[in-house]
């Protein structure tokens, strides 16, 4: 069998596996929990496909801008956020959506957010991905990102062992600009900020390169492109916003990722005989419930599983599912260190690039903007550290990837 035929056969088999697991997961979630959980699992699958086909990587977008001053990825993020606040703010201002109560992810403006976001930002560049990026690239077949994911979970668990100490550092109460300013003023303020960031990327890109980077051309069109990719970044940003809004409608709160990773690690530690249930973090009723219940009942876990399976399906349809176990030792070390920093930083900062940045800003939480500033600073440090672990890395501004 030729290499091309073997690759096609592997992709076909992995596509069937992804589809079967998505069907089993949907039926199981419906039977055990209910229709909303089944739909949220499928939304996770759609998120995974979107992230993979659009190569919507927060980490790579920031790295490409920091190193090459190419801002296409950052501008796509601003469009994503603009649509998100347009959808979210009226619902959050009313306190309900389609007759059901909803609330945003609004967290304290605190020292722990500053430090956690900074640590997370460094971890993004060393680990090779953010929270969503780690899930979808691991699901898409990246063996290295599985290492990052394992240590992401471990870093989250370590943070929960003493999280109260961080949360008791100087802080302000949670601040929602939707509540403080009202829906319309909050929307105007956010639109101005998004436009300012987008215009800044245009200025720096034109100053460095003379023109803006064009979207790479695709040979696929219509349904073939939809199923196999690649998708334009703008498509990715718009679809992610719509799926996050669907999450708000079904779950009553926006999309999050990293709380589940702490749960996975805590359940594993408990099985190994470690009494994590006695830690203060796991004494919180919501966290204790997540620790004691089956993962079928945990919304974030089910959506994360959906993301990984959706990415597996997308990679298979694209013919790109090709796990590679030949990982350089420096890259493994970076994955371990980066994963630990991602997990630890996310818990300190009340979330990651999804829960704190995307959903935090979409919720009108001031801590989301604080997270953005210090995570970007952390990314700048991480970019400078990458040559230690990736000595032969070359800039690839024309194709953004999850890592």
Q: Is the pLDDT of residue 386 over 50?
A: yes
Say what the pTM is: 0.94
pLDDT per residue as tens digits for the range 301-326: 999 999 999 999 999 998 888 788 88
Q: What residue has token string 């089993």? A: 24
> Could you tell me how far CA 370 lies from the centroid of its own chain?
17
Q: In this structure, what are the phi and psi dihedrals at residue 15, rounded to the nearest 5 degrees?
A: -65, -45
Between 3-7, 49-53, 173-177, the lowest mean confidence (pLDDT) is in 3-7
Considering the chain, what is the average pLDDT of its residues?
Answer: 93
Q: What is the mean pLDDT of residues 355-376?
A: 97
What pLDDT shows up at residue 148?
A: 96
pLDDT at 197 over 90: yes
pLDDT of residue 28: 98
pLDDT at 6 over 60: no
Confidence of residue 368 (pLDDT cuts 50, 70, 90): very high
Q: pLDDT of 81-101, one tens digit each?
A: 999 999 999 999 999 999 999
* Confidence category of residue 393, pLDDT binned at 50, 70, 90: confident
- Confidence (pLDDT) at 9: 65
Closest CA to 169 of 106, 109, 112: 112
Angle at 156 between CA 255 and CA 380, to 5 degrees: 80
Any idea what the Cα angle at residue 201 is, between residues 200 and 206, rounded to 5°? 100
- Find the mean pLDDT for residues 330-357: 96
- Burial class from Cβ neighbours inside 10 Å (0-12, 13-18, 19+) for residue 23 reads exposed
Lowest mean pLDDT among 81-90, 200-209, 222-231: 222-231
Average the pLDDT over 25-32 and give the result. Answer: 98
Give the pLDDT of residue 385.
Answer: 96
pLDDT of residue 402: 43
Question: What average pLDDT does range 14-40 have in this prediction?
Answer: 97
**Is the confidence at residue 56, as pLDDT, over 50?**
yes
Structure-block tokens of residue 141: 């077949």
- Sorted by where each begins, the domain ranges of the chain are 3-214+223-389
Paired tokens of 344: 């630890």
Find all residues with CB under 8 Å of 385, minimum gap 6, and list them. 122, 125, 126
- Name the burial class of residue 352, with classes exposed (0-12), middle (13-18) and buried (19+) by CB atoms within 10 angstroms of its CB: buried
149-159 confidence digits (pLDDT tens) = 999 999 999 99
Length of the chain: 403
Question: For residue 359, what are its two tokens?
Answer: 């959903």
Residue 388 pLDDT > 70, yes or no? yes
- Which pair of structure tokens corresponds to residue 147? 């290492």
Phi, psi dihedrals of residue 319, rounded to the nearest 5°? 70, 25
Taking phi first (over 0 means left), then psi (-120 to 50 degrees means alpha), and beta for anything else, what does residue 222 get? left
pLDDT confidence tier of residue 68, bands split at 50, 70 and 90: very high
pLDDT of 391: 87
Residue 399's pLDDT is: 42
Q: What is the mean pLDDT of residues 105-127?
A: 97
pLDDT > 90? residue 215: no
What is residue 8's predicted lDDT score, i.e. its pLDDT?
Answer: 63
| Mean pLDDT on 110-132 | 96
Query: Residue 271 burial by CB count (10 A; 0-12/13-18/19+): exposed, middle or buried?
Result: exposed
Average pLDDT over residues 12-17: 91
Between 262 and 326, the higher pLDDT residue: 262
Question: CA–CA separation, 360 vs 151, rounded Å?
Answer: 24
């Amino acid at each position: 069998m030729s290499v091309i035929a073997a690759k096609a056969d592997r992709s076909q088999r992995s596509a069937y596996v992804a589809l079967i697991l998505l069907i089993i997961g949907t039926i199981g979630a419906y039977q055990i929990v209910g229709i909303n959980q089944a739909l949220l699992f499928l939304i996770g699958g759609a998120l995974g496909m979107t992230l993979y086909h659009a190569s919507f990587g927060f980490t790579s977008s920031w790295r490409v801008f920091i190193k090459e001053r190419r801002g296409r990825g950052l501008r796509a993020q601003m469009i994503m956020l603009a649509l998100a606040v347009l959808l979210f703010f009226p619902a959050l201002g009313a306190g309900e959506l389609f007759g059901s109560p909803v609330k945003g992810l609004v967290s304290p403006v605190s020292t722990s957010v500053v430090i956690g976001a900074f640590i997370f930002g460094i971890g993004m560049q060393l680990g090779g991905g953010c929270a969503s990026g780690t899930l979808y690239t691991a699901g898409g077949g990246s063996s290295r990102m599985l290492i990052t994911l394992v240590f992401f979970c471990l870093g989250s668990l370590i943070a929960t062992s003493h999280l109260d100490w961080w949360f008791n550092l100087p802080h302000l109460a949670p601040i929602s600009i939707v509540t403080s300013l009202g829906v319309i003023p909050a929307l105007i303020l956010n639109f101005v900020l998004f436009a300012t960031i987008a215009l800044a990327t245009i200025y720096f890109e034109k100053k460095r390169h003379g023109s803006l980077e064009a979207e790479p051309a695709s040979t696929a069109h219509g349904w073939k492109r939809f199923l196999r990719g690649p998708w334009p970044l703008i498509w990715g940003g718009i679809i992610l916003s719509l799926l996050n809004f669907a999450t708000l409608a079904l779950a009553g709160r926006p999309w999050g990722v990293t709380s589940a990773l702490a749960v996975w690690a805590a359940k594993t530690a408990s099985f190994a005989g470690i009494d994590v249930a006695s830690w203060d973090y796991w004494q919180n009723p919501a966290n204790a419930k997540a620790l004691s219940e089956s993962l079928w009942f945990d919304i974030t876990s089910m959506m994360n599983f959906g993301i990984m399976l959706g990415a597996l399906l997308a990679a298979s349809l694209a013919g790109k599912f090709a796990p590679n176990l030949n990982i350089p030792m420096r890259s493994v070390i970076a994955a371990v260190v980066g994963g630990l920093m991602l997990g630890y930083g996310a818990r300190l900062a009340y979330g990651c690039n999804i829960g704190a940045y995307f959903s935090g800003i979409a919720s009108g939480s001031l801590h989301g903007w604080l997270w953005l500033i210090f995570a970007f600073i952390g990314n700048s440090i991480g970019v400078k550290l990458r040559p230690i672990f990736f000595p032969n890395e070359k800039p690839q501004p024309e194709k953004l990837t999850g890592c």
